[in-house]
Amino acid sequence: MDYRGINCGKDILKHVLDLSGDPRFDTIKYIIGDFTHSTQIDATGEDVKMLAAYNAALSKSNPDTLNPTVLPIDDEHCQSLVALYVLITEELTWGTTWTSSLEEARTWITDRRNDGWVAAPNDRKSQ
């Protein structure tokens, strides 16, 4: 998921809802939330909680998804939103992490897949 320019919380939520309707979703292995080309994130903690709720529902149909977020934006508010998302999603079966580059996110995915990563409820491997 490639985000560019100014991203509002409602736009990010719509993007995730659109993904949930994609018939390919049940077979994907990872979703990278890439904010590399984003110049601003206009979202709140409530948006993050809603995103986590959406992803909790999505994780029911595809529990072994890896979901790194790439956020190179040097902005305390944006970083706190991503940190909140990672914290809230700790109990999800999805593997989540926060990276500062797309290369780092891809390496994180590759490392977990090479290790045979499979999610298990309440026994999830993360960073």
The DSSP annotation for 28-63 comes to: --B--EEEEEEEEEE--HHHHHHHHHHHHHHHHH-T
Query: For residue range 57-107, what is the model confidence (pLDDT) as tens digits?
Result: 888 888 888 989 898 777 888 888 888 988 888 888 888 888 989 999 999
CATH architecture for segment(s) 2-114: 2-Layer Sandwich (3.30)
What residue has token string 């995730």?
16
The domain locations on the chain are 2-114
The confidence score (pLDDT) of residue 64 equals 87
Report the share of the chain in percent with pLDDT over 90.
29
Query: Cα dist. 29→9, 56, 66, 92 in Å?
Result: 24, 16, 6, 15
Q: Do the beta carbons of residue 67 and residue 86 sit within 8 Å?
A: no
